[in-house]
Amino acid sequence: MTNVKPDAQRKIDVHAHYLPTGYADEARKAGMPHPDGMPDYPAWSAELALQKYDEFGIETAILSISSPGVHFGDDAAAQRLARKVNEEGAELAVRHPGRFGLFAALPMPDVDGSIEEIVYALDVLHADGIGLKTNAHGIYLGDPRFDPIFQELNRRKTVVFIHPTSPSCWQACAMGYPRPLLEFPFDTARAVTSLIFTGTIERCPDLRIILSHNGGVIPFLADRIDKLGTQLKLGQRGAKESISYLRDLYYDTAMAGSRYSLSSLVQLTDVSHILYGSDWPWYPESQVQATNQELEGSAFFTDDERRAIYRENALGLLSGVTSRSTG
């Protein structure tokens, strides 16, 4: 087991991806050699991850499966793959105490299989939360078909990490670019808007939801969603304004440490709702270091607020990390 360098910031990374044994091969066999239009799947191993985390100043990384997820078209295969990656992630957390946690993957859009995996991941594997994609084969998170999943997650007061994936319309709108460039930030907005306008968030007040990449374009569009949604009487939001729901969400800093993105985010939500995220290994090492430097030099935060973003906010949100933390 490696140790965090004494002078490290001891960050808790809520946006840390892993590629368990055989995962990339299964995705390639399912017809996805270029995930979301990217050239290939990045290399990953626990040993390499711990080395990079020491360099980045990360004490604990909450592992999650990035897009394209685990469901490649067959429910039974997705159930098997979800179980496999979740068990490997949980085993890493046991083997390297204090260094890894887990946001477990679900085989959505399979509802019954997803509920079964929620029970196993939280009760048996003791995952820190559940990782969802913004849509599952074109079905967005607020769709009534997913109500049983959200009811179970709400009953358990689960931390839910939402990561973008390609929209079903990407062939028509991505302009030939890899979807992480533009479609991922907008798909986050689609998913969150659906959760608000369908009343899912109102009906599930005990969920703690983390959005990737500063919420994508959500901070910039928050006022537009709120005012146009009210004007057009969209959805079943309940008594609260849309912007109130958006303020209550959590946002990670992965790929979003610049003044351009942070300037909108700090207007939308309190610093207590901002968490550190690296997005490694899908985000290359040089870019993670650049984000770290941007956060260190950001005029938007005091030193105390930076410490909260790096560590304290996550400790308050993730009880399992608190119990595993070395200090």
What's the mean pLDDT in 8-13? 81
pLDDT higher than threshold 50 for residue 39: yes
Whether the CB-CB separation of 314 and 274 falls below 8 Å is answered with no
Average pLDDT value over all residues in the chain: 94
CATH code of the domain occupying 11-324: 3.20.20.140
pLDDT tier at 82 (50, 70, 90 boundaries)? very high
Q: How many CB atoms lie within 10 A of CB 312?
A: 15
What's the mean pLDDT in 113-128? 98
List the one residue out of 251, 191, 249, 242 whose CA is nearest residue 215: 251
pLDDT tier at 317 (50, 70, 90 boundaries)? very high
List the one residue out of 162, 71, 151, 79 whose CA is nearest residue 121: 79
Amino acid 239: pLDDT: 63
What's the mean pLDDT in 273-302? 97
pLDDT higher than threshold 90 for residue 120: yes
Which residue has 């239009």 as its token pair? 37
pLDDT higher than threshold 70 for residue 84: yes
d(CA 23, CA 18): 9
pTM, two decimal places: 0.95
pLDDT tier at 235 (50, 70, 90 boundaries)? confident
Dump pLDDT digits (tens) for 140-170.
999 999 999 999 999 999 999 999 999 999 9
What's the mean pLDDT in 298-313? 96
Cis-peptide into 68, omega within 30 deg: yes
d(CA 282, CA 215): 17
317 token code pair: 């949100």
What's the mean pLDDT in 277-305? 97
Amino acid 323: pLDDT: 59
Query: Alpha carbon 240 to chain centroid distance?
Result: 25
- Would you say the C-alpha torsion 119, 122, 126, 129 has a positive or negative sign? positive
List the one residue out of 307, 323, 324, 325 whose CA is nearest residue 9: 307
d(CA 225, CA 197): 10
pLDDT tier at 211 (50, 70, 90 boundaries)? very high
Amino acid 142: pLDDT: 97
List the one residue out of 115, 66, 116, 124 whose CA is nearest residue 91: 124
What's the mean pLDDT in 171-193? 96
One-letter identity of residue 308: A
What's the mean pLDDT in 209-235? 92
